[in-house]
Amino acid sequence: MGKFTLVGADVHDGSILVKVAVDRGAAAKRGWSNDRDGRRAMIADLKRLAAEAGTMGLWFVYEASGQGFGLYDELTEAGIHCEVLAPTKLVRSAHDRKQKTDEKDAERLLEVLRGHVLAGTDLPAVWIPDQETRDDRELVRLRLDVGEKLSAVKAQVKALLKRNGVARGADTGGSWGQAYRGWLKRLVGGGPELRRGARVALGSLLAQLEFLEEEGGTLDQAIADLAETERYAGSVKEMRKLKGAGLLTAMVFLTEVGDLRRFRNRRQGGAYRGLVPCAAESGEDRDRKGHITREGPGRVRKVLCQATWARVRHDPEEKAFYGRLAERNPMHKKKAAAAVMRRLAIRTGLAGLRGMEAAG
């Protein structure tokens, strides 16, 4: 069996620290700046070390982070086998959490890689989306972010009114309708209900609300245009046949999960989305199940949760299914909702696959 050069890296915005070793040999520490010149120097040095050691392969691992997959792209393009590891699936002892340094983190990743390359242990690597999927995610994620900011501003408006003891009148209509907004603008214009500082603050919040709503509309149109492209049109069409699953739900699902064909079965897909229960078995205690794991993309679970409650309200079959589960244990209705969400996730995935197959 040939030798391998193995590299575990701790990557930060401004620096990259690695521990590099040949097979089971002692690890050496190296460091570079995390910029274009620094990464080029790192790749050249690692290739030189591998050539001097006469190894047949060069492996590099680092943890996934908010920096994206640019480093992965550069290493792969340079002919280095790179894997990006899921931080949530890396085992850390209590001692490791209390004694955390960049060097120790790089050493730990190196040992995980050694186990995989030399002993065949599992490597908790994440799926790497292609460039187009990454780009599409930027748009869809921004739309979700704008929605969260809208909700936050609306909550701020209500909190301001509550602090100042201002109650809604009977003629303000439903929440955030035209009548209600008109009443808020009249408060900003003057009157005894609010003092000057509160009026200025409310006016600013209403301006933010209008801006965010306009941005949300612009992004909605961009997402609708994206959904009509050949890449997504078939899957989105099939997904939207499911009650509760709208355009945004479908696009979040498709851009976050990526290629639906990479899951071998429903169990694997459910585990990726974090919708399977935790297990706690020990000794005589068998088959004890807890809350869902919440692993994988939280954005998918969020839109599925919203779609789930829409289905429970408007789909008789799902309403009856939820009701049966909730009646078994009224104190744990969240478990019933999680079961409905799991079913919706499976059906959404199958609908997406049908759309992909129909599109060829």
pLDDT greater than 80 at residue 4:
yes
CA nearest to 243, candidates 340, 325, 161: 340
List of long-range contacts for 37-41, beta carbons under 8 Å, 24+ apart: 39/71, 39/74
pLDDT tier at 277, thresholds 50, 70, 90: low
pLDDT greater than 80 at residue 299:
yes
For residue 205 the two structure tokens come to 């919040």
- Collapse the DSSP code of 54 into the 3-class scheme (helix H, G, I; strand E, B; otherwise coil) and give the result: coil
Cβ–Cβ contacts within 10 Å for residue 257, how many?
23
193 DSSP 8-state letter: S
For residue 101, the surrounding DSSP H or E stretch is none
| pLDDT (tens digit per residue) in 221-266 | 999 999 999 999 999 999 999 988 999 999 999 999 988 888 777 6
Q: How many CA atoms lie within 13 A of 147 on its CB side?
A: 14
- Cβ–Cβ under 8 Å, residues 138 and 222: no
Distance CA(113)–CA(95), nearest Å, equals 21
CA nearest to 36, candidates 6, 10, 73: 73
Distance CA(45)–CA(34), nearest Å, equals 14
- Cβ–Cβ under 8 Å, residues 37 and 89: no
pLDDT greater than 70 at residue 184:
yes
| pLDDT (tens digit per residue) in 49-90 | 999 999 989 999 999 998 899 999 999 999 999 999 999 888
pLDDT greater than 70 at residue 271:
no
- Cβ–Cβ under 8 Å, residues 360 and 239: no
- Collapse the DSSP code of 206 into the 3-class scheme (helix H, G, I; strand E, B; otherwise coil) and give the result: helix
262 DSSP 8-state letter: G
Amino acid identity for residue 304 in this structure: L
Span 187-201, average pLDDT: 91
Tell me the helix, strand and coil percentages in the chain, rounded to 5.
Answer: 60, 10, 30
27 DSSP 8-state letter: P
For residue 148, list its beta bridge partners.
Answer: none
| pLDDT (tens digit per residue) in 30-56 | 999 999 999 999 999 999 999 999 998
Span 301-321, average pLDDT: 89
Identify the pLDDT of residue 172: 83
pTM, to two decimals: 0.86
Distance CA(67)–CA(13), nearest Å, equals 8
Identify the pLDDT of residue 151: 96
Span 333-340, average pLDDT: 84
